[in-house]
Amino acid sequence: SKTNAALLQRRAAAVPRGVGQTHPVVAERAENATVWDVEGREYIDFAGGIAVLNTGHLHPQVVAAVQEQLTKLSHTCFQVLAYEPYIELCEEINKRLPGDFAKKTLLVTSGSEAVENAVKIARAVTGRAGVIAFTGAYHGRTLMTLGLTGKVVPYSAGMGLMPGGIFRALAPCALHGVSEDDSIASIERIFKNDAQPRDIAAIIIEPVQGEGGFYVNSPAFMKRLRALCDEHGILLIADEVQTGAGRTGTFFATEQLGVVPDLTTFAKSVGGGFPISGVGGKAELMDAIVPGGLGGTYAGSPIACAAALAVLKVFEQEKLLERSNDLGEKLKAGLREIQSRHPVIGDVRGLGSMVAIELFEGGDLHKPAAELVGKVVVRAREKGLILLSCGTYYNVIRFLMPLTIPDAQLQKGLAILAECFDELA
Ligand code: PMP
């Protein structure tokens, strides 16, 4: 029978090492918040395939919708022959995007591709090429999005300089000594030192910084960004690839941050495990690019559109936005309980169920405890819990379990996590 070790040996021989892997486990099947490996070991999934499984692994309604779509067609290329699921999904996303104006949405396949297209649209709208992104940001692995991503090792290490026209502002992060004033001042500094506002097409921001460490931006800060954009005719792009699809308790995080972005990117959990992403926003902006200038062979695959439409229905039927907030509260309560016994946990934070803990040696905010995070992740896996870390300093554990996880399983996972801290911290 198959073993993790044997398959991972084949992986090492056949797949480049650049494709990293958090856990030395080969998955065989999964259901809601549970995964089984090829050796039959069972795991509680607190990672959700990196924020993709808000509706859980193989939600029965998502599976049924995909199966039904497979009896009709799997591909035409939307730019050759249209199909209704694409149109309907765009209508549904338009209804959910913040802003009191007509909206349009473009579908593509990955989060990176969504961000690429948002930048293309911003460039076409403004006739400008510059983009401002933030320290610690993550926007993808294609060349433009890699340039926007604010962390060199490992993402762009060894690949030479990234595309030009990208300027880096400081992400506000009170915990690490960067105030909102500092952040706004860093943008003013870019305008003074690097490029005039008239050459900047867009400012792109994750409403809650994801890979960088789950830092929540305040409504006050988002409003200052919006005002700065309005003052200079710059578009505000909200990258909701990780925050979207209800993770933060509203369908899009900007809904509760008091700003209306010009363009919003989404991906991950919108497709419930099937590859779909997109950009949506003000109709007149979305129409800036000439016919033929947007698209892609597989962009908005009918299979993935059917899955996404089912995901949206599941959100309503199972009241998953409420559940997201409820789960977030339970999660934070459980984590604070562990924190009360383990001061190494310097911070418990989050928006909705987009929750993380940040570890510091001796509770000293100047000493990120990356090594301990690594050890906790390994020990938790040995005990049957799949965790995911993140953070510029590798010292954050983030929680991205399905919103559909049963409470008992959530508590079981938290109990395992508590055990890990009791043993290691
Ligand atoms: N933007 C954000 C905010 C993300 O979190 C990610 C993925 N972690 C991406 C873009 C890129 O998405 P993908 O990996 O699907 O290209």
Task: Provide the b/e sequence for 350-359 (b: ≥16 CB within 10 Å).
Answer: bbbbbbbbbb
Q: What would the 3-class secondary structure string for the chain be?
A: CCCHHHHHHHHHHHCCCCCCCCCCCCEEEEEECEEEECCCCEEEECCHHHHCCCCCECCHHHHHHHHHHHCCCCCCCCCCCCCHHHHHHHHHHHHHCCCCCCEEEEEECCHHHHHHHHHHHHHHHHCCCEEEEECCCCCCCCHHHHHHCCCCCCCCCCCCCCCCCEEEECCCEHHHCECHHHHHHHHHHHHHHCCCHHHEEEEEECCEECCCCCEECCHHHHHHHHHHHHHHCCEEEEECCCCCCCCCCCCCHHHHCCCCCCEEEECHHHHCCCCCEEEEEEHHHHCCCCCCCCCCCCCCCHHHHHHHHHHHHHHHHCCHHHHHHHHHHHHHHHHHHHHHHCCCEEEEEEECCEEEEEEEHHHCCCCECHHHHHHHHHHHHHCCEECEEECCCCCEEEECCCCCCCHHHHHHHHHHHHHHHHHHC
Q: How far away, in angstroms, is 342 Cα from ligand 1 center?
A: 32
Residues 83 and 215 in one domain: yes
- The whole-number pLDDT of residue 181 equals 98
Bridge partners (DSSP) of residue 399 are 355
pTM of the complete model: 0.98
Q: How far away, in angstroms, is 205 Cα from ligand 1 center?
A: 12
Query: What is the ipTM for the molecules in this complex?
Result: 0.99
Confidence class for position 1, pLDDT limits 50, 70, 90: confident
Ligand 1 atom at shortest distance from the alpha carbon of 50? 8
Domain of 132, CATH number, reads 3.40.640.10
139 pLDDT above the threshold of 90:
yes
Task: Out of 19, 109, 112, give the residue to mutate to test ligand 1, the one with the largest number of ligand atoms within 8 Å of its CB.
Answer: 112
Residues 264 and 344 in one domain: no
**Four-CA torsion 152, 158, 159, 165, nearest 10 degrees:** 40
Q: Is 346 in the pocket of ligand 1 (CB under 6 A)?
A: no
In tens, the pLDDT along 304-315 reads 999 999 999 999
Q: Is 239 in the pocket of ligand 1 (CB under 6 A)?
A: yes
Of 288, 317, 346, the residue at which a domain comes to its end is 317
In tens, the pLDDT along 186-231 reads 999 999 999 999 999 999 999 999 999 999 999 999 999 999 999 9
Radius of gyration of the chain (CA): 21
Nearest protein Cα to ligand 1, atom 15: 111
Please state, for a pLDDT cut of 70, what percent of the chain lies above it.
Answer: 100
Domain that holds residue 382: 4-59+319-424
- The whole-number pLDDT of residue 363 equals 85
Task: Out of 134, 268, 298, give the residue to mutate to test ligand 1, the one with the largest number of ligand atoms within 8 Å of its CB.
Answer: 268
Name 323's Cβ contacts closer than 8 Å, sequence gap at least 6. 403, 404
Nearest protein Cα to ligand 1, atom 13: 111
Q: How far away, in angstroms, is 49 Cα from ligand 1 center?
A: 12
Q: Give how many domains the chain has, as a whole number.
A: 2
> Average pLDDT of 40-54?
98
In tens, the pLDDT along 357-374 reads 999 999 899 999 999 999
Residues 287 and 194 in one domain: yes
- The amino acid present at 174, given as its one-letter code, is A
Ligand 1 atom at shortest distance from the alpha carbon of 142? 16
Q: Is 110 in the pocket of ligand 1 (CB under 6 A)?
A: yes
Q: How far away, in angstroms, is 362 Cα from ligand 1 center?
A: 33
CA distance 391 to 139: 14
Ligand 1 atom at shortest distance from the alpha carbon of 211? 5
Residues 133 and 260 in one domain: yes
Residues 284 and 397 in one domain: no
Q: Is 211 in the pocket of ligand 1 (CB under 6 A)?
A: yes
Residues 253 and 291 in one domain: yes
Residues counted in the chain = 425
Name 189's Cβ contacts closer than 8 Å, sequence gap at least 6. none
Residues 331 and 228 in one domain: no
In tens, the pLDDT along 48-96 reads 999 999 999 999 999 999 999 999 999 999 999 999 999 999 999 999 9
Q: How far away, in angstroms, is 3 Cα from ligand 1 center?
A: 31
Of 317, 341, 359, the residue at which a domain comes to its end is 317
Q: Is 295 in the pocket of ligand 1 (CB under 6 A)?
A: no
Residues 344 and 385 in one domain: yes
Residues 136 and 45 in one domain: no
Is 332:350 a contact under the CB 8 Å cutoff? Answer: yes
Q: How far away, in angstroms, is 268 Cα from ligand 1 center?
A: 8
CA distance 83 to 104: 17
Residues 200 and 294 in one domain: yes
CA distance 232 to 244: 27
> Average pLDDT of 229-255?
98
Residues 198 and 309 in one domain: yes
Ligand 1 atom at shortest distance from the alpha carbon of 210? 5
Of 317, 334, 367, the residue at which a domain comes to its end is 317
Q: How far away, in angstroms, is 299 Cα from ligand 1 center?
A: 16
- The whole-number pLDDT of residue 32 equals 98
